[in-house]
Amino acid sequence: MVTQLLDLIGSIPDLPDEPRVVASGNFATPHQLLDEVDGGLDRWRLWLLNAQKGIPDREGMVLETSFVGPGMRKSPRLRYVPSRLSLVPRLFHTVQRPDVVIVHTAPPHKGLLSLGTEVNILPAAIEAVKKRGGILVAQVNPQMPFTYGDALVPAQLFDLLIEVDEPLRTHKASAPDAESMRIGQAVAARVKDGATLQAGIGAVPDAALLGLADRRDLRVWTEMFSDSVLTLEKAGALSHTVPVHTSFVFGSAELYEWLDENPRVRMIRTEFTNDPSRIATFDHMISINTALQVDLFGQANASRIGARIFSGFGGQTDFFVGAMHSKGGQALMGLRSWHPKADVSTIVALVDEPVTSFQMTAVITENGTAELFGHDQQKQAAHLIEHAAHPDVRDELWEDARSLALA
């Protein structure tokens, strides 16, 4: 099978010197097949989202992504491609066409393979590689959940199926600390029964969702979710008539078992889940995200540390825009007022990194809630200083505010 895979790659018309391989990312990465490709190609490009540790990374490779994970973050071979995730599919049809797409699927059923936990940008990559005349390969694993929606791909599209039988990698979120819980409770207090939820990655979004167990008829339209959504399902907080919509999932083995053949969950391609115009159609759309820094102009940096890319735009830019245009919607930024590792305030006078997002409804820290939308810039700055910033830096921030004509 390995020889067959490499022979197929070699048969691609007009194969470039550095073939581009797009693969399932996050916790669905087909590690075994990527290792085989790496052993057979001297030079190649690997494109995947939120790469976890253990992917090939050596001289002769280029690592490409629009959302950096721990498997690429510190690599000198990383080539970060700034893009809203809703627009990544357009890259595959224009400037970053794939030569090979390798996905991790559940076994075929009634002529269909399921992309399982990772749909995301893969349907667009599959369409682009077939149009280009490249090859589509599946690592078929009986331990991958069989999911529905855009996860389903006709088996006849695949050039090669290679069977494996191995557990999926899991993600165990740390229990939220006291500060994250206070922030999460403040966020949750703003959510009504019947709201539609999107939550990003991190302790604060997780804590916010956990604080919604007593709500009812909640809907989920999100880029991703983890075990916190399963907790809401068990608590009876989710709508019984509207499926959970998401683009990818990672979490515990229990979560994967719940996903398997579950019609309650619809896996949707990224350009659909993250389309701001569609997100805006949901009344009371609540987008819950976090950041590394927020400044007195209400600008957030959620992507970079010391000018080095840490992650990327993620879904934050798409969902904040959609939520702000939703009837009764809110774009909420939750973060600690003090970064424990860097030992610095997260509320700053002016972010000195490229801005990830701006113009949100409110910024919430363990100290309180700074209401932003609808207030003039002086009031926004005052609310951030008085209600969100750590007490130890408030005097300094007031001085900065005056120098910036915000006070």
**Quick check: 293 and 353 in contact, CB under 8 A?**
yes
Question: How far is the CA of 308 from the CAs of 78, 346, 400, in angstroms?
Answer: 11, 17, 25
Strand partners for 218: 238
Gap between the Cα atoms of 11 and 135, Å rounded: 9
Report the DSSP pairing between strands 244-246 and 219-220.
Answer: unpaired
Q: Kindly calculate the radius of gyration of the chain based on its CA atoms and give it in whole angstroms.
A: 22
Contacts of 354 (CB under 8 A, 6+ apart): 301, 303, 304
Q: Indicate which residue of 64, 118, 179, 223 is catalytic.
A: 223
Alpha-helix runs per DSSP H in 152-287: 178-188, 203-210, 227-235, 253-259, 270-273, 276-279
In the chain, how many H helices and how many E strands?
Answer: 13, 28
Which of 91, 79, 88 lies closest to 18, judged by CA?
Answer: 79
Contacts of 216 (CB under 8 A, 6+ apart): 193, 194, 236, 237
Gap between the Cα atoms of 150 and 156, Å rounded: 16
Task: Give the CB-side neighbour count of residue 284, counting CA atoms within 13 A.
Answer: 11
**Catalytic annotation on 223?**
yes
Q: Which two tokens stand for residue 308?
A: 């080095």
**Quick check: 315 and 85 in contact, CB under 8 A?**
yes
Active-site residue list: 223
